[in-house]
Amino acid sequence: MDFEPTIIAFVCNWCTYTAADLAGTSRLIYPANIRLIRVMCTGMVDPKYVIKAFLEGADAVLVSGCHPGDCHYINGNYKARRRIKLLKEILPQFGFEPERLKLTWIGASDGIRFADTITEMVSEIRALGPSQVRGKMVL
Amino acid sequence: MATTAKINVKHQDFLASLQAFFKSVLQQNDIGALLVPQHLPMKDVVMPTIVTDPEALDAADPLAPTFPLNAATLLSRLTRKPLETTIAAVLRPCEIRAFIELVKLKQGRTENLIIIGTDCLGAYPNNDYARVVEKEGSETTRKFYQNVLSGKNPPLEGFQVARACQACEHPVPEGADIVIELFGVDTEHEMFLEARTPAGEKLLAALNLPSAKEPDQRKKAIQTVVNERITYRDQMFDETRKRTETIEKLTRYLAGCVNCYNCRVACPVCYCRECVFVTDVFDHEPSQYLRWADRKKSIKLPTDTIFYHLTRLSHISTACVGCGQCTNACPNNIPVMELFRMVAHKTQQAFDYEPGRSLEEPPPLSVFKETEFPDLTGETEQLNH
Ligand code: SF4
Ligand code: SF4
Ligand code: FES
């Protein structure tokens, strides 16, 4: 059976979520492997949200928000970038490949970019294979 | 420049000279209290005490090889609000570094505070210290520092200091106003005090101590200790890495953990007033447990063990000072410090941050730069287009 990854995406309300909406209304096609979680700003994504997603078996996690300078809460995306940097230092020490965690900036008008990013990420994770956590008792 | 003062040790009793020094500090008009570890009268346990009477320092012993808790947390409580007097606090290097982290988080103040740091020779895990004292009795402290300083290993027959101490590359107190020097010092005959700040200079001047030159062999002695500890530390990292490099291995490593959260209570830099893991966020619905079990065939209780440790690693590893109190506090012998230090080494390097190094350096997760880590979002690529 072919492996279909599950990707959890934390997207900010003002930019990437709007882009996802636009991708939908523009009838762009992208793989259905992504589970969007809308947050007000990437600056509210505590590392523990990402950790929880991985421990529950997510094959990858995407955090995506406004471009630098465009965050509706001024600097939430800069704070998010530090937290992703932090997680990229921690998670690989326990065997999570760095590619499984991604940070992107996708603006509200970037529906095409959103669809492309998801498509690309799904094929990358499909090639990488399932997360080590799948089906294991990790609590 | 740092000024060094010298006190001649009488009757080869370093500890008595140290106590006399503390007494003279507490006799200063502007110093109202001393925070210092003392042997308790009811039992030979050494705990931090607050002393206001200069005559009540006979049991003071900051060199006892025991470290039941990290006093940074206590000092944070003591300095939470301004006091009318100055407190002098006698601390180990890792307590000072943890306190500096707490000050940056607005959980402590350096106003009206003099920090007296001791060179640190290490300490035994709590359980071992009780057994060491059983064996060595009232000679424990003296034998311990003499043996460590003369290079005996293990310092006392049959007992090794905590792994945290063996792996600690910060044996000299940074951030202290006054340093009580031990490395490279002939403790049978002399004691050296080094003032590192204007407040420290002022206190030493008020005490009218003759100034002296730092012992020649000190720098070399410190370098030797630091090198040994770094070697030990790096071996510890390698071993720990092998035991935790996948989630499956990490689960095995933490298998005995019962989520008592003692490790975070003991941790001086776990700064939240209320930890999310004890809030109702983790009062899961009863049916939730069954759903988890359904999905994975069975689940271990208590749940959220790995989640707890990974979260704590992400929240405080940049501030971890490696004091080892987490391991010391664990009722189930889980090597928590080893895990935290291994991860902290990486996260601190990533932000070029060293906890306790300077009050001026903000905690890395509290700040950002507008352009940094461009490779995270592939911006380097875009810029080149
Ligand atoms: S995590 Fe452990 S070693 Fe690090 S500061 Fe906290 S108690 Fe000390
Ligand atoms: S002290 Fe030990 S048993 Fe308790 S939560 Fe920490 S690691 Fe687990
Ligand atoms: S509102 Fe979009 S990242 Fe802050």
Average the pLDDT over A98-116 and give the result: 97
Question: How far lies B334's CA from each of A40, B305, B324, B337, in Å?
Answer: 39, 13, 11, 9
Distance from CA of A66 to the nearest CA of B (A): 12
Distance from CA of B274 to the nearest CA of A (A): 16
Q: What dihedral do alpha carbons B51, B54, B59, B60 form, nearest 10°?
A: 70
pLDDT-based confidence at B384, cuts 50/70/90?
very low
CB B89 within 8 A of CB B113: yes
| Residue at A139 is within a domain | no
Average pLDDT of the residues of chain A: 95
Interchain contact B368–A (C-beta under 8 A): yes
CB B317 within 8 A of CB B291: no
Ligand 1 centre to CA of A22 (Å) is 47
pTM, full prediction: 0.96
C-alpha to C-alpha distance for B150 and B265, rounded to whole angstroms: 36
Binding-site residues, ligand 3, Cβ < 6 A: A 12, 14-15, 41-43, 65-66, 71-73, 76-77
**pLDDT tens sequence across B265-296:** 999 999 999 999 999 999 999 999 999 899 88
Percent of chain B surpassing pLDDT 70: 98
Does residue B383 have a pLDDT over 70?
A: no
Residue of chain B minimizing CA distance to A79: B368
CATH of the domain at A40: 3.40.50.960
C-alpha to C-alpha distance for B272 and B86, rounded to whole angstroms: 27
Binding-site residues, ligand 2, Cβ < 6 A: B 257-263, 329-332, 334, 336
Report pLDDT for B297: 86
C-alpha to C-alpha distance for A60 and A4, rounded to whole angstroms: 11
Residue whose CB lies within 8 A of the most ligand 1 atoms, among B326, B330, B338, for a mutation test: B326
Kind of pairing between the strands at B113-118 and A34-39: unpaired
Distance from CA of A89 to the nearest CA of B (A): 6
C-alpha to C-alpha distance for A118 and A124, rounded to whole angstroms: 10
- Domain span at residue A120 reads 7-128
Nearest to B126 by CA among B162, B177, B90: B162
| Residue at A93 is within a domain | yes
Interchain contact A98–B (C-beta under 8 A): no
Residue of chain A minimizing CA distance to B313: A90
**pLDDT tens sequence across B39-92:** 998 888 999 999 999 999 999 999 999 999 999 999 999 999 999 999 999 999
| Residue at A133 is within a domain | no
| Residue at A34 is within a domain | yes
Does residue B381 have a pLDDT over 80?
A: no
Percent of chain B surpassing pLDDT 90: 93
pLDDT-based confidence at A3, cuts 50/70/90?
very high
CB B324 within 8 A of CB B170: no
**pLDDT tens sequence across A27-80:** 999 999 999 999 999 999 999 999 999 999 999 999 999 999 999 999 999 999
Contact: A48, B276; criterion CB under 8 Å: yes
Does residue A113 have a pLDDT over 70?
A: yes
pLDDT-based confidence at B380, cuts 50/70/90?
low
Between A and B, how many residue pairs show a Cβ–Cβ distance under 8 A? Answer: 113
Enclosing H/E stretch for B260: none
Phi/psi region, residue A8 (left: phi>0; alpha: psi -120 to 50; beta: rest), is: beta
C-alpha to C-alpha distance for B167 and B377, rounded to whole angstroms: 36
Helix ranges (H only) for B79-197 are: 93-104, 126-136, 140-149, 163-166
Does residue A137 have a pLDDT over 80?
A: no
Chain B CB contacts of A93 under 8 Å are 241, 244-245, 342-343, 346
Report pLDDT for A139: 64
Using a 6 Å cutoff on CB, does residue B266 contact ligand 1? yes
Report pLDDT for B385: 41
CB B132 within 8 A of CB B161: no
Phi/psi region, residue B71 (left: phi>0; alpha: psi -120 to 50; beta: rest), is: alpha
- Between residues 250 and 279 of chain B, which touch chain A (CB distance below 8 Å)? 250-251, 276
Q: How many domains does chain A have?
A: 1
Can you state the angle between helices A76-90 and B305-316, rounded to 10 degrees? 120
Interchain contact B317–A (C-beta under 8 A): yes
Q: Which tokens hold the place of B353?
A: 């941050």
| Residue at A136 is within a domain | no
pLDDT-based confidence at A138, cuts 50/70/90?
low
Average pLDDT of the residues of chain B: 95
pLDDT-based confidence at A1, cuts 50/70/90?
low
Average the pLDDT over B107-112 and give the result: 96
Nearest to A8 by CA among A85, A84, A61: A61
Q: Which tokens hold the place of B152?
A: 């005996």
Kind of pairing between the strands at B190-195 and B113-118: unpaired
Q: What dihedral do alpha carbons B159, B163, B165, B168 form, nearest 10°?
A: 150
Chain centroid to CA A58: 10
Chain centroid to CA B203: 25
| Residue at A137 is within a domain | no
Report pLDDT for B43: 83
C-alpha to C-alpha distance for A48 and B314, rounded to whole angstroms: 8
Q: Which of B296, B297, B343 sits opposite A93 (nearest CB)?
A: B343
- Ligand 2 atom 3, closest CA: B257
Interchain contact A120–B (C-beta under 8 A): no
pLDDT-based confidence at B378, cuts 50/70/90?
confident
Chain centroid to CA B301: 32
Q: Which of B244, B247, B378 sits opposite A138 (nearest CB)?
A: B247
Enclosing H/E stretch for A83: helix A76-90
